[in-house]
A and B are shown apart, each in its own frame.
Chain A
Amino acid sequence: MHVRVVLFAMLREQKGVSELELDVAPGTTVGGLEARLYPSRQSGSVPGKLLYAVNQAYVTRDHELQDGDEVAFIPPVSGG
Chain B
Amino acid sequence: MVEITEEPIDIGAVIASVRYSGGGAVVTFLGTVRDNDEAGEVIALEYEAYAEMAVAQMRGIRAEIETRWGIDHVAIVHRVGRREVGEVSVVIAVASPHRLQAFDACRFAIDRIKEIVPIWKKELYPHGSQWKQA
**A residues whose Cβ falls under 8 Å from a Cβ of B:** 6, 8-10, 12, 47, 53, 56-58, 72, 74-80
Give 21 A-B contacts (CB < 8 Å), ordered by A residue.
A8-B49, A8-B118, A10-B131, A53-B50, A53-B118, A56-B53, A58-B116, A74-B50, A74-B118, A76-B134, A77-B114, A77-B115, A77-B117, A77-B118, A77-B119, A78-B120, A78-B131, A79-B54, A79-B117, A79-B119, A80-B90
**Contacts of B108-134 to chain A: CB distance below 8 A:** 110, 113-122, 131-134
Which single residue of chain B is at the shortest CB-CB distance from A6? B50
Binding site for A on B (CB under 8 A): 31, 47-50, 52-54, 56, 78, 89-90, 110, 113-122, 131-134
Distance in angstroms between the alpha carbons of A56 and B47 in the assembled complex:
19
Q: CB distance B114 to A79 under 8 Å?
A: yes
Chain B nearest CB: distance from A23 CB in Å? 23
> In the assembly, what is the distance between CA of A57 and CA of B47, in Å?
21
Contact assessment for B53 and A77 in the assembled complex, using a CB-CB cutoff below 8 Å? no
Majority SS at the chain B contact face: mixed
B120 contact set on A, CB distance < 8 A: 8-10, 75, 77-79
Distance from B43 Cβ to chain A, minimum over Cβ atoms (Å):
17
Residue of B nearest to A56 (CB): B53
Say yes or no: B114 contacts A78, CB within 8 Å.
yes
Give the chain B neighbours of A75 by CB distance below 8 A: 120, 131, 133
Minimal Cβ-Cβ distance residue in A for B119: A79
The CA-CA distance from A80 to B89 in the complex, in Å, is 7
Q: Which A residues are CB-close (under 8 A) to B89?
A: 80
A77 touches B131 (CB 8 A): no
Taking the closest CB of chain B, its distance from the CB of A63, in whole angstroms, is 15
CB contacts (< 8 Å) of A8 on chain B: these are 48-50, 118, 120
Chain A residues contacting B118 (CB-CB under 8 Å) are 8, 53, 72, 74, 77
Q: Nearest Cβ in chain A — how far from B36, in angstroms?
A: 16
- B113: chain A residues at CB < 8 Å are 79-80
Quote the shortest CB–CB distance from A9 to chain B (angstroms): 4
